[in-house]
């Protein structure tokens, strides 16, 4: 081992928790969850910059920990949201799900602090496996299927990453997690594709809105935080300034909001807005300036808070009503004032309203695009912001808590710990929005950006007010109807039936046919062996008298024939 | 980009943008994105 002894990688705490928690008595498990995530948070905060920890394994050096400012931003927020998620899910009595969530949080921390590509890759795969369980743990048939699709897609992404890492190491001899340039041959593009898949960059994004709405209520909270943001971290670290990321990022922001306008399931709407919000971070990585990279990291930090809170709010609605579609919800505000209020804090945050944390981070990326000389990108990012307020800030809450009643009744009150978890995250959304320097001072580069200027405030308030006006005018059009919303997962879901026919049903039919044929042939052969004559004539049981006369006649005929033949030869 | 600083530009942008997104998305939905429930089971 090299590096500072006595320094433990933050990932170790949740991993230890995942092993120990299922062994504890039931009533201590949720508390243990909080303790282990809090330990990870303490480690992420306490380990000094520049610290590293490496172990030698078969002549190869695994860098399990490499601490610097960028890794710390992500490490802190990952550990915090794992803790908040644990509070929100404190009532859970499902050790497997709790262990999977700890494993998931640990692997996200592992990715962030990994100093070499091989270590990163290992955590990357654990990330996929642990999160798959959070989909399966819902124990519905559609969750089982969606979980398999999710796993397949992520194993494919992990495969691309592995291939890229091997090619890259073969070419350069380096396993370091460091900046790559586009001229690195197919290796770097394979690594980029593998990472982009986890960042849900179209066209390899459809796994996200497919699986997240089908995950467990608490599982989706963790999923909204870890997978995509761990990928964003790698994009900032390894691919800063790749212009393709600017293009894809801006595209993502719009793509997500368009689909969210149509979506009916509340967690599907939120899922599309993960894609949209991650687009800002991808675009920031693509811009590559110090301000843009700061903005990207800051927005990831803000996003994890408000997006977890949004999923917590949606989860509380599902928990209390048993329904998840806007077309089956409505008029719940009177009975769910606290859930509604906490949800709206997150909704204002994601919409970038002043005094909420989205305002201080999203605008950094937008301003960075403007400053770097991409006004078109800047305007498209603002347009996506309009769409965000439209769907998450207006459509979703209006048709859930107001709007026409559809018979949804909030049953039991949500567990108190759910509201406590939401309250904690909401406090940070508002806290960082009101005091941006708390966030700015932990960013990787010095910040000169000032969000609270007259022009920026005026601009934001105009946008929000007039988006609201448009929503109010056309809210009847926006009313969701039950439907299946197609996305690019069509390409592997729809042909599934076709491929099943060709590769499963058709061979099965051929096997069945040959099977029946063989059995029939053998039956025939057996019957023939037992009774050839009966088998040919189709007659019943064999009787020696039945053919006596015919046989006599035939023998006489043959005998006569031979006599005639013999006489003919003699004469 | 002078027009960005025109008074009320972002009010117009917000309204027009929202309308564009609503009707654009609905059009795409009608054309090919929205199918009946159970589409993937058939």
A561: part of which helix (H) or strand (E)? helix A548-570
Q: Measure CB to CB from residue A390 to each of B12, B18, B33 and give the nearest one.
A: B18
**Minimum Cα–Cα distance from B24: chain A residue:** A258
Q: What's the pLDDT band for A3 if we cut at 50, 70, 90?
A: low
Contacts of A378 (CB under 8 A, 6+ apart): A366, A369, A370
Asked whether A399 and A329 are in contact (CB, 8 A), the reply is yes
Least confident of A128-142, A266-280, A493-507: A493-507
ipTM over 0.90: yes
Closest approach of chain A CAs to the CA of B38, in angstroms? 7
Asked if the C-beta of B27 comes within 8 angstroms of chain A's C-beta atoms, the answer is no
Asked if the C-beta of A259 comes within 8 angstroms of chain B's C-beta atoms, the answer is yes
Q: For residue A504, how far is the Cα from the chain centroid?
A: 28
Domain boundaries defined on chain A = 240-488, 493-534+545-570
Asked whether A163 and A140 are in contact (CB, 8 A), the reply is no
**Minimum Cα–Cα distance from A456: chain B residue:** B10
Residue A286 has a pLDDT of: 97
Least confident of A5-14, A339-348, B15-24: A5-14
Q: Measure CB to CB from residue B35 to each of A257, A477, A486 and give the nearest one.
A: A486
pLDDT digit string, tens, across residues A113-141: 999 999 999 999 999 999 999 999 999 99
Closest approach of chain B CAs to the CA of A387, in angstroms? 6
**Minimum Cα–Cα distance from B21: chain A residue:** A258
Task: Map A178-216 to HEC letters.
Answer: CCCCCCCCHHHHHHHHHHHHHCCCCCCCCHHHHHHHHCC
Closest approach of chain A CAs to the CA of B31, in angstroms? 11
Closest approach of chain A CAs to the CA of B3, in angstroms? 12
Q: Measure CB to CB from residue A467 to each of B18, B32, B38 and give the nearest one.
A: B18
Cross-strand partners of A2: A54
Residue A6 has a pLDDT of: 64
- Pairwise CA distance, residues A54 & A46, whole Å: 18
Residue A2 has a pLDDT of: 54
Task: Map A221-254 to HEC letters.
Answer: HHHHHHHHHHHHHHHHHHCCCCHHHHHHHHHHHH
pTM of the model: 0.88
Cross-strand partners of A60: A57
Give A382's contacts in chain B (Cβ within 8 Å).
Answer: 10, 13, 17
Asked if the C-beta of B8 comes within 8 angstroms of chain A's C-beta atoms, the answer is yes
């Amino acid at each position: 081992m090299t590096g500072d002894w006595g320094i433990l990688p933050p990932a170790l705490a949740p991993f230890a928790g995942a092993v120990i928690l299922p062994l504890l008595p039931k009533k201590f498990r949720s508390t243990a969850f909080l303790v282990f995530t809090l330990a990870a948070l303490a480690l992420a905060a306490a380990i000094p910059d520049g610290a590293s920890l490496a172990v030698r394994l078969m002549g190869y050096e695994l860098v399990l920990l490499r601490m610097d400012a960028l890794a710390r931003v992500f490490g802190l927020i990952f550990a915090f949201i794992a803790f908040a998620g644990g509070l929100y899910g404190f009532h859970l009595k499902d050790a497997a799900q709790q262990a999977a969530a700890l494993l998931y949080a640990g692997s996200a921390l592992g990715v962030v602090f990994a100093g070499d590509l091989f270590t990163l890759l290992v955590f990357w795969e654990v990330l996929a496996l642990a999160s798959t369980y959070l989909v399966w743990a819902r124990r519905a048939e559609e969750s089982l299927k969606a979980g398999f699709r999710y796993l397949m897609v992520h194993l494919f992404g992990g495969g691309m990453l592995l291939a890229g890492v091997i090619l890259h190491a073969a070419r350069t001899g380096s396993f370091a997690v460091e900046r790559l340039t586009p001229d690195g041959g197919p290796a770097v593009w394979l690594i980029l594709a593998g990472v982009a898949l986890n960042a849900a960059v179209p066209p390899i994004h459809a796994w996200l809105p497919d699986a997240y709405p089908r995950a467990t209520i608490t599982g989706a909270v963790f999923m909204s935080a870890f997978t995509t943001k761990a990928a964003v971290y790698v994009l900032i670290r390894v691919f800063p300034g790749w212009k393709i990321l600017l293009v894809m990022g801006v595209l993502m922001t719009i793509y997500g909001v368009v689909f969210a306008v149509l979506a009916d399931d509340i967690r599907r709407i939120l899922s599309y807005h993960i894609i949209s919000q991650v687009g800002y971070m991808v675009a920031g990585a693509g811009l590559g300036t110090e301000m843009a990279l700061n903005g990207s990291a800051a927005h990831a930090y803000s996003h994890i808070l408000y997006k977890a809170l949004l999923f917590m709010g949606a989860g509380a609605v599902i928990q209390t009503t048993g329904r998840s579609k806007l077309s089956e919800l409505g008029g719940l505000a009177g009975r769910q004032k606290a859930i509604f209020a906490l949800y709206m804090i997150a909704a204002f945050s994601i919409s970038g309203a002043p005094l909420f944390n989205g305002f201080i981070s999203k605008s950094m990326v937008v301003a960075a695009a403007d400053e770097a000389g991409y006004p078109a990108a800047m305007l498209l990012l603002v347009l996506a912001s309009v769409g965000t307020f439209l769907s998450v800030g207006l459509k979703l809450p209006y048709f859930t808590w107001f709007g026409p009643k559809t018979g949804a009744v909030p049953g039991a009150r949500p567990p108190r710990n759910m509201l406590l978890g939401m309250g904690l995250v909401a406090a940070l959304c508002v806290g960082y929005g009101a005091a941006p320097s708390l966030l700015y001072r932990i960013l990787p580069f010095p910040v000169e950006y000032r969000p609270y200027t007259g022009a920026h405030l005026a601009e934001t308030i105009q946008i929000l007010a007039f988006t609201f006006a448009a929503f109010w005018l056309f809210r009847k059009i926006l009313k969701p109807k039950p439907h299946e919303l197609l996305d690019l997962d069509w390409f592997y879901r729809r042909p599934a039936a076709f491929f099943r026919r060709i590769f499963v049903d058709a061979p099965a039919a051929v096997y069945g046919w040959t099977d029946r044929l063989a059995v029939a042939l053998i039956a025939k052969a057996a019957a023939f062996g037992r009774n050839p004559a009966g088998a040919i004539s189709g007659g019943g049981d064999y009787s020696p008298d039945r053919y006596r006369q015919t046989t006599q006649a035939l023998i006489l005929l043959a005998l006569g024939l031979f006599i005639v033949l013999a006489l003919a030869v003699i004469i | 980009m002078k027009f960005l600083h025109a008074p009320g530009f972002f009010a117009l942008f917000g309204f027009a943008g929202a309308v564009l997104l609503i009707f654009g998305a609905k059009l795409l939905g009608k054309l090919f994105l929205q199918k009946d429930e159970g589409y993937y089971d058939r």
